[in-house]
Structure 1
Amino acid sequence: MSKAPKYFDRRFSWALLHPKYWLTWLAIGLLVFFAILPAWLRDPIAKGFALVVINIAKKPIHVARANLTTCFPEKSSTEIESLIKQNVQNFVMILLGQAELLVKSKQNIRERVQLHGFEHVQQAQAAEQPIIFIMPHVWGIDYAGLRLNLDLPSMVTMAKAHRNGLFDWFNNRMRSRLGANVYMREAGIRALLSELKQGNSFFYLPDEDLGPEKSVFAPFLGTVKATLPVVGRLASAGNAQVMPLKIGYNQQTRQFDLTVMPAIEPETMQGKLQEAIALNKAVEQVILAYPEQYMWFLRVLRTRPEGESSIY
């Protein structure tokens, strides 16, 4: 008998009302409150909160500074600090509005996220090929997922479980609101390959540092990065196209701009090193479009070449 798919359970459980979650419920309530506010009112409030975050989030900002200094050695310390300030502002603005993906209408998602380049998706559909969407860890990633899910109802994704069960439930209920399933990471690559063979598309986040095992080092911005070269084999086995996505929040229009980029040519992903190079180039394109909106606080450069000390 085959094992059941390892999806996150988005059903409500009475256990989520346990007193240990009461502070989390309060935080969720605040997120819902801010999500209901119009963006023109919410964004200035978020910028005020960002000043507080910059002063208290010392460890994440240390990581962000190390990442930015290593990835952009040509930038001055003043430019790095400006990027960090913008990064925190965008983080807080997007966080305070994110619950709208759960509590507001589908039409609101369409209006908030302007979709460009969908003709690339339509071309893949005409060829009867599913798509592996490449998107690194950017602040607007959930907006990208829900917006695409409106037009691609059979999409799936994969996420790492959090220690807080209520946060897991809330986050994955939001992500699966339109019917998409969110796999637990334990489901593994086989689960994603199975989805491709059923014609379903999914998100893949290629920028996470998963350690030296099976990873290869490839150029990345101003340094090198340990990259897991698995997408090319997945695409080949599942007859899929690989398309990078970029998304950024426009503070003037108070909308997100989501762009589906042309598919990566399969021949550029032949061999582990070539695939790692192609993946990192795609990630670079996405980051450089909105460098102030990437999750720089992640330890994406944790694994370093032999003999090189940690940047953190």
Structure 2
Amino acid sequence: MSSGFCRSFLHPRYWSLWFGLGVLWALVQLPYPLLVKIGSALGRASRPFLKRRERIARRNIELCFPNMAQAEREKLIEDNFVSLGMGLVETGMAWFWSDARVRKWFDVEGYGHLTAALGSGKGVMAVGVHFMSLELGGRVMGLCRPMMATYRPHNSPVMEWVQTKGRLRSNKAMIDRHNLKGLVAALKSGEAVWFAPDQDYGPKGSLFAPFFSVPDAATTNGTYVLSRLSGASMLTITMVRKAAGKGYRLYISPTMTDYPQEDQAAASYMNRVIEQEILRAPEQYLWVHRRFKTRPVGGGSLY
């Protein structure tokens, strides 16, 4: 996790970055209904400049939903880029809005499931997915109940400081996703820790399990390992953007009571859970990530 502000952050090589952050701060001072229009427009305007990402999104959707009609598939891609633009605006909202302003725009379904899980005296593994509104979802989650979250440190020290400062406005701590010892210790101490096992993290520590219509998606074994080592309860927390600029809803599921005790079965189980969360709002999912880049030995590239 990043430390405090350093004078080196004021070096001229970071001035363009600070300018961009200043523009983002100024942008999100506008009323939310206007931000929805601006974010949507930014997403649509970005599509011609992000052709590689568009190809990745289209391929992922083809692989996951092979029976989807072509027109429906194209509409999903179009809406996904709208969501991408909103994701930029929502990052600014997450980092720079006051608690009172954030609270105005979300509601929660299933909060009792989280309090019940924490009341059991064990830690809670809060499973999330990579929706475009992920940064704002973390802020909202922390306003409901401050917790810890796993993350990948940013390559830029300035962005590392800014994003960590923003994320800790309503949460307790950020833990490097490679820090297994720290994650287990936090869970054993009774903390709630958010993490998202829905991406392709490479062959190391992964198994191949079905994901939608792809029979062999690289799936992290970390969920199973954390569960086995910590004995924590497990549930899902997902935030979805409502239609027509009406804000957001945070969904908290009941505790999983049938999580398998074998790694391959556990990977398949978790992918089914993630699928159900994605289907709450598939247009808001991060389809531009190469979810299926890691292949079994001898398997050709899907891209």
d(CA) in 1 for partners of 2:41, 2:195: 33
Alignment of 1:202-221 (within 5 A): 202-221=193-212
The residue number in structure 2 matching 1:197 is: 188
CA distance in 2, matches of 1:15, 1:163: 15
Contact 1:35 1:98 in 2 (8 A): no
- Matched with 1:144 is 137
* Aligned partner letter, 2:121: E
Matched, 1:177 2:169: yes
Structure 1 pair 97–232 and aligned structure 2 pair: CA distance change class (3 A): closer
Q: Bigger shift: 291-300 or 250-259?
A: 250-259
Alignment partners' CA distance in 2, 1:122 and 1:161: 29
Secondary structure of the structure 2 residue equivalent to 1:216: strand
User: One-letter code of the match for 2:10?
Assistant: L
Q: Percent identity?
A: 27
- Residue 132 (structure 1) aligned with residue 125 (structure 2): yes
Is the counterpart of residue 93 in structure 1 residue 86 in structure 2?
yes
- 1:272 and 2:263 matched: yes
Could you tell me how far 1:272 is from its partner in structure 2? Answer: 0.8
Deviations, residues 142-169 of structure 1 (Å, cap 9, x unaligned): 222222212323x211211222222222
Shift of 1:184: 2.7
The residue type equivalent to 1:254 in the other structure is K
SS of residue in 2 equivalent to 1:289 = coil
TM-score, structure 1 as length reference: 0.91
| 1:226 paired residue number | 218
Query: Partner residue of 2:255?
Result: 263
Deviation per CA, 1:28-60, whole angstroms, max 9, x where unpaired? 111111211112112222222222201101111
**Amino acid aligned to 1:221:** F
Runs of 4+ in structure 1 off by over 4 angstroms are none
Number of aligned residue pairs: 302
Bigger Cα displacement from structure 2, 69-78 vs 44-53: 44-53
Instruction: Tell me whether 1:166 sits opposite 2:162 in the alignment.
Output: no
1:76 to 62, 69, 78: 69
Alignment check: 8 A CA contact 2:234 2:256 kept: yes
Whole-angstrom CA distance in 2 between matches of 1:181 and 1:66:
36
Aligned equivalent of 2:34, options 41, 45, 52: 41
2:2 is aligned, of 8, 12, 20, to: 8
> 8 Å contact 1:113–1:256 — kept in the other structure?
yes
RMSD of aligned Cα (Å): 1.7
- The 8 Å contact of residues 202 and 218 in structure 2, kept in 1 or not, is answered as yes
Which whole-Å deviations, capped at 9, do the CAs of 1:56-92 have from their partners, x for residues lacking one?
0111111111111111111133222211110110121
Q: AA paired with 2:235?
A: M
Change (3 A) 1:66 1:204: same
Kept in 2, the 8 Å contact 1:131–1:200? The answer is: yes
Unaligned runs of 5+ in 2: none
User: Alpha-carbon deviations, 1:220-277, whole Å to 9, x = none?
Assistant: 1111311122323422432311111222111324311110011222x43210111101
SS in structure 1 of the partner of residue 114 of structure 2:
helix
In structure 2, distance between residues paired with 1:294 and 1:156: 22
Contact kept, 8 Å, 1:71 with 1:222, in 2: the verdict is yes
Letter of the structure 2 residue corresponding to residue 274 of structure 1: A
TM-score with structure 2 setting the length:
0.94
Amino acid in the other structure paired with 2:249 = D
Shift of the 304–71 alpha-carbon distance from structure 1 to 2, 3 Å rule, reads: same
The answer to whether the 8 A contact 1:250-1:257 is kept is: yes
In 2 relative to 1, CA 196–208 (structure 1 residues): closer, same or farther, beyond 3 Å?
same
**One-letter amino acid of the counterpart of residue 241, structure 1:** S
User: Which amino acid counterpart does residue 291 of structure 2 have in structure 1?
Assistant: V
SS at match of 2:28: helix
Indicate whether 1:54 and 2:72 are aligned. Answer: no
